Structure 1
Amino acid sequence: MGAAGSPRTPEATPGQPAAGRRPRWGALVLVGLVGFGMLRQGLSGEADGPPQPDAATSLFGDAPPGGPAPPPLPRSAPSRVAIPSIGVSAPVLPLGLDEDGWIAAPPASDAQLAGWYKAAPSPGERGTAVLVGHVDSAGGPAVFYGLGALEKGRTIRVTREDGRIAVFEVYGVRVFGKRGFPARKVYGDTGHPELRVLTCGGAYSAGSGYTGNVVVFARMVKSG
């Protein structure tokens, strides 16, 4: 996966990467996800491609859930993510950085796995946790194929290794182009436990894959 044209890293980002290197948030989207959706030609019966959110609506007018926020949870790695409204129930694999300092992708051999960037907050901690996954593969739709159809107000449940479940409410679903990706807005610390779920999206071409990424914005509303 190449890094050409990737946005610059924000000066302030959540989490601490391995080997003392700052996570390259803008490049996470371009490089970490560029291989997630380049096999759409293998999708028989899915000629229109995965569903896409409304790109014309501004994310930043969306309001996070109201009401008192639950207290943040201590750090604990996620083990499973469930998004019932789009039929997702998937194990979560911790991801680090590759030898070039970019976030690694979940293995292409199992397109039904989700990945958590382990240098960022864990789901339920204060800050922005990040889950990523493939949109499709040569075998058909992958774990986050339906992500672009997710609606505001739906819930995402993340089971953690400590046995706690962090429940997030979706407040925005958008597709952003890889050029000029608003990394600071997407990944910045809001002061609350937040979750971002990403996969490939936007227009598709056989030569270069998808032009952007679907991003789900969610805030923790309950834990158990």
Structure 2
Amino acid sequence: MANGMLHCNEIARAIRLICQGAAALTEDLIESQSVRVGSNMLFEPGQQVRLRDADGEEEATVAQRVGLTQVVLTAPVEGEYLLSRGARIERAAGGMSEVQWVGHGSPELMPRSPAERYPCVLVKPEKMRQPLGEGSNRTMQQDYSFAVYYVERYREGHEANAEVLERAGELMELLMSDIYLGGTCWHSQVTEVEPEPGVQQRLRDVERPLRVVELTMLARRAVVV
């Protein structure tokens, strides 16, 4: 976990990565088969994965998980994957099926352009609380809440209503697959699913016919004071 008192951006990035079936590396990977991550819960032995940074990528296969923070590959990688270039490991199959992109912020701030692609997922930090009476003289407990939006083009009918909830369920399972959210917290969970949040009507009021499901995510961690 990173130093500092406020970790909204760090946790939000981890959520966005999980929506893509990915985890950030915590150490540079150079011609090795041992991949260090904040949490390895997304990955399973035998799974096809991809190592990637701004300079390139390559395919690999997971041999085993060691502890909570190590993914061992069946063979050393050929390239170099550096933290300074945004190094990550991701499932070759990706994250949530059919999602075109994962972004940051509210659906109301999405640009209007011919390049709009749906479905998409957006992650928005909501608030951070430090409950009184929790923690110790040396630590404080922090509870972070995030809104995670699944957004698709609006379709009429009962079948469309049922399908969007199935998609929200798929997103929920993906978010819950790593309760440590890539090593940014010591517990996380989806606490609420809203099939028709207020933001959906606000989008329609400005002639943006989109269907939105909002998931509320809690991430809990401690900071040293």
TM-score, normalized by the shorter chain, greater than 0.5: no
Which TM-score band applies after superposition, normalised by the shorter structure? under 0.3
Higher share in strand: 2
Higher share in helix: 2
Which is greater in Rg? 2
